[in-house]
Amino acid sequence: MALKKPLVLNGGQIEQLQTGDTLDASCSEVDVVTMTNGEAESLVIGAPVYVQAAGTVKKAKADASGTVQVLGLVKSTSIDPSGSGSIQTDGVLTAATDQWDAVTGGSGGLTAGSVYYLSPTAAGQLTTTAPGTAGQFVVRIGMALNATELDISVFAPMKL
């Protein structure tokens, strides 16, 4: 069987990988968008948000069809009312344990290996308990890698 060399882009040109060359490129699939806070209060890091109007987000909640389409989690430490900030839509979001406590209602940060869902009872909050009441929505947000890192992988809402 003949040895095949991969094709690579070099200076915008396609060429075969040459003997002795290696593939070395960082890859990041984290998407971050800048949005405006539509709430009357600040949005904190880790809070799940939905698009309320063009370029504007509000706290998401799993109890109504208009608030369950989660765009992502607040990446900025805080976004003031009518201020702009970063929303992370996927990848690993890192925050301090007390910052995670503010959006989970827990203590000590995230629980490694636990799946986090959009809360049906508190806007802008996460919970490890999936909603179970008729009329609520199950929205998986991601899985904790450790006490400070959540791998964001938002699933489509499922109405109960």
**What digits encode the pLDDT tens for the residues 12-22?**
788 887 777 77
Q: What are phi and psi of 52, to 5 degrees?
A: -90, -35
pTM of the prediction?
0.82
| Whole-number pLDDT of residue 25 | 62
Q: Where does the pLDDT of residue 60 fall: very low under 50, low under 70, confident under 90, or very high at 90 and above?
A: very high
- Residue 36 in tokens: 């405006």
Q: Where does the pLDDT of residue 5 fall: very low under 50, low under 70, confident under 90, or very high at 90 and above?
A: confident
Three-class SS state of 102 = helix
Taking the C-alpha atoms of residue 61 and residue 76, their distance in angstroms, rounded to an integer, is: 20
Taking the C-alpha atoms of residue 66 and residue 125, their distance in angstroms, rounded to an integer, is: 16
Contact 95, 73 (CB under 8 A): no
- Which one, of 132, 152, 1, lies nearest residue 86 by Cα? 152
**What digits encode the pLDDT tens for the residues 67-93?**
999 999 999 999 999 999 999 999 999
- Which one, of 95, 94, 97, 77, lies nearest residue 85 by Cα? 77
User: Is the pLDDT confidence value at 6 over 80?
Assistant: no
